[in-house]
Structures are given as C-alpha cells and as structure tokens.
Amino acid sequence: MIDLPAAIQSYFVFANSKNWLGMADLFTCDAELRAVGARPRYGRDDVLAFYPKTTSAWTTNIDTPLRCTTSGSVAVVELLFNGVDTSGRPFEFDAVDVFDLSEARIRKVSIWYDIAAVQAHMKSLP
C-alpha cells in the first residue's frame, strides 16, 4: 500500500473490513463528511451512520488507495473502488477522498466519484 498518514491508513483498513466500531476512534467528535450525492453529515455518530448505508449495495467492496498528496493537515487520496453488487456483478470506479486531519484524527472527509456512473449501475440492478 502507498504511504498514508496513520489515521487514513486505518480508515481504509476499517472501511474495507466494514469495521465501523474500529473506524469510530479515527474521527474527532465534531467530524464532518461530505459525499457527492449525499446530505452533509455532522458529528461522529452521523458520519459513521453513512458508511453501512453506502456499502449495503455491495456484497464485497475494496477501496485501494493509489496516490496520496499531503499539504499540512490535508491529504488528498486517489483511489480505485472495486465492488460486487448484490446481483453478483462486478463494478469499479475511480474516486478521490479529501481528508482534513486534527491531532492525528479525521476532522473532515469529502468523498468524490462519478455519481452518474454509479447511479446508472445501481438502477440496472434486478
């Protein structure tokens, strides 16, 4: 795996294993999440509620970080999402996650991907 700040490395390990309890310790109490196509989330509990909902459409899914660029407390991670949907069809897409860190924890994450491609795939599910 590429070199990532520790909290972000753990974020992907926990997200890929769907370990939401482990992920909770990575976020500040006042965390924020912005994801394309979703309402903004405020506070650790609200942020953490986002993940099980978005991964429920996939029987398996793995986010693979490909590149990380950091500047001060901000890290931009380009990644490849590989998943298998609930009908057994594989699907992949590129994404970019932007992390704002505060004292080695995630204060804010913004998630960007081609929502039109993902929505078209999801609408084609039986």
Is residue 30 pLDDT above 70, yes or no?
Answer: yes
* Amino acid (one-letter) located at 57: A
List pLDDT tens digits, range 73-85: 999 999 999 989 8
| Greater pLDDT, 117 or 3 | 3
Question: pLDDT averaged over the chain?
Answer: 91
What span, in angstroms and rounded, lies between the C-alpha atoms of 13 and 27? 14
- Residue 72 in any domain: the answer is yes
Distances (CA, A) of 61 to 69, 74, 121: 24, 25, 15
What does the pLDDT average to over 18-31? 95
- Residue 82 in any domain: the answer is yes
- Residue 126 in any domain: the answer is no
Is the pTM here over 0.85, yes or no? yes
List pLDDT tens digits, range 45-62: 999 999 998 877 778 889
- Residue 125 in any domain: the answer is no
Report residue 114's pLDDT band, with 50, 70 and 90 as the boundaries: confident
User: Which residues constitute the domain of residue 88?
Assistant: 6-119
- Residue 124 in any domain: the answer is no
- Residue 85 in any domain: the answer is yes
- Contact yes or no for 46/32 (Cβ under 8 A): no
Domains of the chain: total: 1
List pLDDT tens digits, range 92-105: 889 999 999 999 99
Nearest to 50 by CA among 23, 75, 77, 76: 23
Distances (CA, A) of 1 to 10, 58, 75, 79: 12, 23, 16, 11
* Res 54: pLDDT: 81
- Residue 1 in any domain: the answer is no
